[in-house]
C-alpha cells in the first residue's frame, strides 16, 4: 500500500523558496510571494517541471523532455485527484495545496500530509507498490501534474542525476515520517502535542508558530481527537509551556519537555 510524502529537498543549494521549515504536517512550501514569482516564470517558460526542486537542477533539455511526459490538470477544492487503485505514477503539485489522506475501515479520514507548491507524492508507486487506501484531494484550487510510473521509471534510469535528486527528497521525506513517528510513539497526548509544537518552532527566533491546519487535522496527524487537542492546548497554556497569541498563532515557551 501507500506512497510517500515529499517535500522540498531540505538542503538544496539554490532553491528560490526557503525550505528549512522543520517538518510540519505541510510539506514545507513556498510563501505566497514565491508562488507569484514562480507563476510568472511559468508563463514565460511554459515548463511546469522547473518549479519542482527535484527537476530544477537538470539541464533544460532534460526538463523539456520531462515536460512532454507530464499530464497537467487544474483541480478545484475538494476534487479527488487520485483514488486507490488508480493509475500509478507520481503526482506533483505545481501550485496550490492538496491533502493526502487515508480512510480507515470505519470511514474516518486520516490526514497523512499536506502538499504545497513543488511537493510531490508517489515515489513508492514508481517501484511497484500498490495503493490500497490513499486518496489525494485538492485543498484549494490547484494545478497539478502527473507522470505515469512507467514514464517516470524510464526517466530515472536514463537520468542519473534525477535519481540523486529524488533520493535527496525521499531521504528528507523519510525524516519527516521519522519525526511524526517520534511524536506518535509517546503514550501521552500532551507529550505528542508539545513535541509537535516544539518542532514547529525551531528556527523561529521569537518562538511564535502559525498552526498550519485545523485541530481536527492535527488530531488525526497525532493519533488523537480534536477535543483532546483542544483540551491539551489549554492545559499547556495554563502550565505556561505555550502562550496563545491568536486563534492560529502560539508562542512556544519551553522547547524541551
Q: Does 83 bind its own copies (CB under 8 A)?
A: no
Q: Is 32 left (phi over 0), alpha (psi -120 to 50) or beta?
A: alpha
CB 177: neighbour CB atoms within 10 A? 15
Q: Does 110 bind DNA (CB under 7 A)?
A: no
Least spacing, CB of residue 67 vs DNA, in Å? 31
Q: Does 225 bind its own copies (CB under 8 A)?
A: yes
Q: Does 99 bind its own copies (CB under 8 A)?
A: no
Q: Does 177 bind its own copies (CB under 8 A)?
A: yes
x/- letters, 222..251, toward DNA (CB under 7 A): -xxxxxxxxxxxx------------xx---
Strand pairing category for 98-103 and 109-115: antiparallel
- Complete DSSP assignment for 65-89: HHHHHPEEEEE-TT-EEE-TTS--E
Q: Does 175 bind its own copies (CB under 8 A)?
A: yes
Chosen from its own copies, DNA, none, partner binding at 231 (C-beta under 5 to 8 Å by type): DNA
Q: Looking at the chain, list the stretches that DSSP marks H as alpha helix, in order from N- to C-terminal side.
A: 32-45, 53-56, 60-69, 123-126, 149-158, 160-184, 189-201, 215-221, 226-238
Number of residues forming the site for DNA (CB under 7 A)? 21
- Contact (Cβ atoms closer than 8 angstroms) between residue 100 and residue 112: yes
Least spacing, CB of residue 174 vs its own copies, in Å? 4
Q: SS3 string of 127-164?
A: CCCCCCCEEEEECCCEEEEEEEHHHHHHHHHHCHHHHH
Q: Which is nearer to its own copies, 77 or 158 (CB)?
A: 158
Q: Does 245 bind its own copies (CB under 8 A)?
A: no
Q: Which is nearer to DNA, 145 or 193 (CB)?
A: 193
- Contact (Cβ atoms closer than 8 angstroms) between residue 76 and residue 130: no
Q: Does 129 bind DNA (CB under 7 A)?
A: no
Q: Which is nearer to its own copies, 42 or 225 (CB)?
A: 225
Of 167, 161, 131, nearest to 149 by C-alpha is 131
Span of 57-65, 111-119, 122-130, 210-218 interacting with DNA by CB under 7 A = 210-218
Q: Does 241 bind its own copies (CB under 8 A)?
A: no
Bridge partners, 244 (sequence order):
250
Q: Does 179 bind its own copies (CB under 8 A)?
A: yes
Grid cell listed for 48: 511546469
Q: Does 18 bind its own copies (CB under 8 A)?
A: no
- Whole-number Å distance between alpha carbons of 251 and 241: 9
Q: Interface residues with DNA (CB under 7 A)?
A: 187-190, 214-216, 223-234, 247-248
The residues that touch its own copies, with contacts defined as CB under 8 A, are: 1-4, 10-11, 102, 104-105, 110, 112, 123-124, 126-129, 156-157, 160-161, 163-164, 166-168, 170-175, 177-182, 184-187, 220-225, 256-257
Amino acid at each position: 500500500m501507500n506512497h510517500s510524502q515529499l517535500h522540498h529537498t531540505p538542503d538544496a543549494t539554490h532553491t528560490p523558496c526557503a525550505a528549512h521549515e522543520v517538518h510540519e504536517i505541510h510539506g514545507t512550501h513556498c510563501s505566497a510571494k514565491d508562488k507569484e514569482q514562480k507563476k510568472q516564470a511559468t508563463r514565460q517558460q511554459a515548463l511546469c517541471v522547473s518549479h519542482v526542486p527535484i527537476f530544477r537542477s537538470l539541464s533544460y533539455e532534460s526538463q523539456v523532455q520531462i515536460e512532454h511526459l507530464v499530464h497537467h490538470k487544474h483541480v478545484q477544492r475538494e476534487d479527488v485527484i487520485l483514488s486507490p487503485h488508480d493509475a500509478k505514477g507520481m503526482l506533483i503539485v505545481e501550485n496550490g495545496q492538496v491533502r493526502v489522506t487515508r480512510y480507515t475501515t470505519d470511514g474516518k479520514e486520516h490526514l497523512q500530509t499536506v502538499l504545497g507548491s513543488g511537493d510531490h507524492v508517489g515515489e513508492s508507486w514508481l517501484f511497484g507498490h500498490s495503493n490500497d487506501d490513499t486518496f489525494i484531494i485538492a485543498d484549494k484550487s490547484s494545478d497539478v501534474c502527473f507522470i505515469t510510473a512507467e514514464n517516470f521509471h524510464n526517466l530515472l534510469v536514463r537520468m542519473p542525476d534525477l535519481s540523486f535528486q529524488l533520493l535527496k527528497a525521499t531521504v528528507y521525506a523519510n525524516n519527516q515520517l521519522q519525526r511524526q513517528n517520534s511524536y506518535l510513539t509517546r503514550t501521552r497526548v500532551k507529550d505528542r502535542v508539545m513535541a509537535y509544537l516544539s518542532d514547529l518552532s525551531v528556527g523561529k527566533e521569537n518562538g511564535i508558530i502559525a498552526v498550519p491546519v485545523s485541530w481536527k487535522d492535527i488530531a488525526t496527524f497525532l493519533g488523537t481527537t480534536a477535543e483532546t487537542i483542544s483540551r491539551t492546548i489549554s492545559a499547556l497554556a495554563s502550565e505556561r509551556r505555550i502562550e496563545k497569541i491568536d486563534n492560529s498563532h502560539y508562542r512556544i515557551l519551553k522547547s524541551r519537555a
